[in-house]
Amino acid sequence: MAVTARHRAQAAVRDLVEIARTREDNKAKAAVAARVSAIVRTRVDRVAPRLLDAPKVRSVRAAGVVPPRL
């Protein structure tokens, strides 16, 4: 199976979450929040044109904008 950008993003988020769990400082937690929001924003930018063309989108998940699982 090919490693996609999504796989790399999920791995990065998992690493950051692990850092935040083991280190109880706000800087690590802020890094996790920033990374997750950047990943979600990238996915939104990628699917925005599809959303504009879609006649009706029932949910963000149906549109393909789903943040990676933590």
The tens digit of pLDDT for each residue in 14-26 reads: 776 676 666 666 7
Yes or no: say if 45 and 54 are a contact pair by the CB < 8 Å rule. Answer: no
Query: What is the rounded distance in angstroms from the CA atom of residue 13 to the CA atom of residue 9?
Result: 6
CA dihedral 7, 8, 14, 17 (to 10 degrees): -140
Kindly report, residue by residue over 9-62, the tens digit of the pLDDT.
777 777 766 766 666 667 766 777 777 777 666 665 565 555 555 555 555 555
Cα–Cα distance, 61 to 59 (Å, whole number)? 5
Contact (Cβ atoms closer than 8 angstroms) between residue 9 and residue 68: yes
Q: Output the pTM of the full model.
A: 0.33
